[in-house]
Chains A and B, each alone.
Chain A
Amino acid sequence: MNRLSGEEWQGGHYLSVPLSSHTHTNAHLQRHTRTHTHTHTHTFTLSRVVPSVAALMTWLHSAAFTRRLARSIAYLFPSGLFDNKAKPLMKHPDEVFPKQRAVQWGADGRPFHFLFYTGKQSYYSLMHDTFTKALAVEKHQDRLRGKGLFTQDAKQISLVGSRWLLKEELEELLVETISDHDYARFIQLMERLLSLPYCSAEEDFVQRYRRQLEIQSSKQQVQPLQYDQHGVAYSTGDGRRKTATGTVLLRDSGSGSISINGTNYVHYFPVLQDREQLMFPLHFMGVLGRFDMQCSVSGGGHSSQAGALRLAISRAMLSFLSEGQVETMRQAGLLTPDPRIKERKKPGQEGARRKFTWKKR
């Protein structure tokens, strides 16, 4: 059998060649030998071409291999191997490798920190510091009481827009692991410090262990206002409630007409409560007669359709309002999608809550 060299490989016909002729009988050869025209479905097996290490070396240095390699790279990396945008995204080493402690003891083997042998030196030193501060505040209060200057309404630390550090964040800060019990004790001790009337002296210390919560209204996505060919401002919004979906086109034309799925809203919603729901966002902002609305709604019942349209109208109105008004609408509950759905039926019960009739026997 001829061993195929690299030159003969070039996209022509090829026969599937057994590795070495002496191991196969003729019958076996006939079973395995098949001719087929070259298509893109042919498989490349290295062992078919280069059965020995020496042959492998020859193959790797051949021009055919270089060409094949170039084609593979062009296929796998279309922008080339060295393109800037093709470089892999890697995290900063600080994010990948966790922070480690420097060596905690000196040349004589004595540890630097006096709480080293507790095993959690940063945690216990933090607790120690906090308690010292609490004692200092209490001493200050006693001194004031002695002078007769103690008042209950001293300036308090404002804790409203912030939260305590989470356990993971505290661990990151202390560069050591603590248990849930330890974390709970830390929070308890901080709360105890905060319960003292004159704790505002330690405000900086406390704020170090608190994180600001983000303002919720900044999460609202407000679409920019669009203008049609007559220069009239308009915006769209969509909303969902249970299984109903609704969309609204709000136009700033000053007439106050509402059409839903082509019909007037009075005919579409004969129930007063549904019409009130449509008017709620407009009445709340005081723009009842200003907008022209074209709504389309499908799915659900009349109540959920009204709810879906209410959300759609509120969202469409955001483009016309200022930031303070957006926050007011959010606090009125107009911008939250209602998550309540029909509760599922459970096995062993007749409905979601109703149980089967209890029979004594």
Chain B
Amino acid sequence: MSASITGLLKPWTPRLFLVRWSRYNPYYLEPEPRKEVYHIPETELTPEQKEERELKSVRPIKAATNSVTSSVFNDPVLSKFVNMMMKDGDKIIAKGIITQTLENMKRKQVEKYHKAPEGKKAEIECNPYAIFHQALENCKPVIGLASIQKGGKFYQVPIPLTDNRRRFLAMKWMITECRDNKHRLTLMYEKLSQELLAAFSKEGNVVKRKHELHKMAESNRAYAHYRWW
């Protein structure tokens, strides 16, 4: 074999000092911690999946991070939200707030469920994880604005957003909204559960902010040709 391949398997510091780098060599692949993926029999795999499996068998794999497990309760979107809410590396507090939020949402929904007439019971969503995901979906903007300089002036140009960027904006708006626009005595989990339930039914300040962004993009559609990518 070759010495240069074994050189790719060690903890790696880049030759040129890059701003965004990791201790893994780019040769390493991302791990797949979910159990179900490995129980699919050979016959049901598509050719792309077979190729991916072959590639994985010859490439080294990165270690799974410490917030990732194979458990059913492991949710990557929720983990990202917890990390964004975390201050000064205190994940215990952030995770505690989220747990309390989910519990609070469940309590409110179950109360509503018991008070509702028979016909309306089936429409009430009691699963807090489903509410969280749907609320976040409702907060995601479809189009964004970028500040582009043309002829000495800066114009707000409508641009398409990537999935990661949309998810980030939805989470960011949710967190800033809950931190800033609340009464001094309301606790974070209380305010967050209120906002999430509002976003689930497409009301509330976060969804309003998303609509405002869409309106701005619509009004600036004349400048759309300033985008060159």
Spell out A's residues near B (CB within 8 Å).
158, 160-161, 163, 166, 168-169, 211, 213-217, 271-273, 276-277, 279-280, 283-284, 286, 303, 306-307, 310-311, 327-328, 330-334, 336-341
Give the dominant DSSP class at B's interface: loop
The 4 lowest CB-CB distance pairs between A and B, nearest first, are A333-B31, A333-B64, A339-B11, A336-B63
User: B179 to chain A: closest CB distance in Å?
Assistant: 23
Task: For A333, give the chain B residue with the smallest CB separation.
Answer: B31
A300 to chain B, nearest CB (A): 12
> In the complex, A359 Cα to B24 Cα: how many Å?
36
With the chains together, A209 CA to B143 CA distance in Å?
48
Q: Does B51 contact A (CB under 8 A)?
A: yes
Cα A276 to Cα B65 with chains together (Å): 12
Q: Which of B27-63 contact A (CB under 8 A)?
A: 31-33, 35, 38, 51, 54-63
List the B side residues contacting A215 at CB < 8 Å: 57-58
How many residues of B are counted as interface, with CB atoms below 8 angstroms from the partner's CB atoms? 36
User: B172-211: which have CB < 8 Å to A?
Assistant: none
- Among B59, B60, B63, point to the contact of A338 (Cβ < 8 A): B63
Q: A160-B55, A331-B56, A338-B63 are in contact. Are A279 and B69 (CB under 8 A)?
A: yes
Which A residue's beta carbon lies closest to that of B73? A276
Could you tell me if B69 and A280 are in contact, using CB atoms closer than 8 angstroms? Answer: yes
Beyond A211-B1, A339-B12, 16 additional pairs, beta carbon < 8 A: A161-B57, A168-B2, A213-B58, A214-B1, A216-B60, A272-B95, A276-B71, A276-B74, A279-B69, A283-B70, A303-B66, A307-B66, A328-B38, A333-B31, A333-B62, A339-B24
B67 CB contacts on chain A under 8 angstroms: 273
Point out the residues of chain A lying under 8 angstroms from B66, CB to CB. 273, 277, 303, 306-307, 310
Interchain nearest-CB distance for A246 vs B (Å):
13
**Most chain A Cβ neighbours within 10 Å, of B51, B62, B69, B91:** B69
Task: Give chain B nearest CB distance to A269 CB in angstroms.
Answer: 12
Q: Known contacts A273-B66, A333-B31, A333-B62: does B54 contact A169 (CB below 8 Å)?
A: no
Report B205 CB to chain A, min CB distance, Å: 31
One digit per residue, 1 when the CB lies within 8 angstroms of any chain A CB and 0 when it does not, for chain B 1-36 equals: 110110000011000000000111000000111010
Q: Which of B38, B62, B68 has the most CB of A within 10 A?
A: B38
CB within 8 Å of A: which B151-167 residues: none
Q: Which residues of B line the A interface, CB within 8 A?
A: 1-2, 4-5, 11-12, 22-24, 31-33, 35, 38, 51, 54-64, 66-71, 74, 91-92, 95
- The reply to whether A284 and B58 contact each other, CB–CB distance below 8 Å, is no
Q: A333–B61 contact, CB under 8 A?
A: yes
Assembly CA distance A163 to B58 (angstroms): 11
Contact of B23 (CB < 8 Å), options: A158, A169, A273, A340 = A340
* CB pair A160 B32 closer than 8 Å: no
What's the minimum C-beta distance from A154 to chain B, rounded to whole angstroms?
Answer: 14
Cα(A286)–Cα(B74), bound, Å: 16
**Known contacts A277-B69, A283-B71; A161/B58 CB under 8 A:** yes
Q: Which of B51, B54, B70 has the most CB of A within 10 A?
A: B70
Check if A330 sits within 8 Å of B58, measured CB to CB.
Answer: no
How far is A283 from B34 in the complex, measured between Cα atoms in Å? 11
User: Residues of A contacting B2 with CB < 8 Å?
Assistant: 166, 168-169, 211
A327 to B57 CA separation, bound complex (whole angstroms)? 8
With A273-B91, A327-B57 in contact, is A332–B69 under 8 Å at CB?
no
Is B63 in contact with A333, judged by CB distance below 8 angstroms? yes
Q: Which residue of A lies closest to B30 (CB)?
A: A333
| Residues of the A chain whose Cβ atoms lie less than 8 Å from the Cβ of B57 | 161, 215-217, 327
A280 in contact with B58 (CB, 8 Å)? no
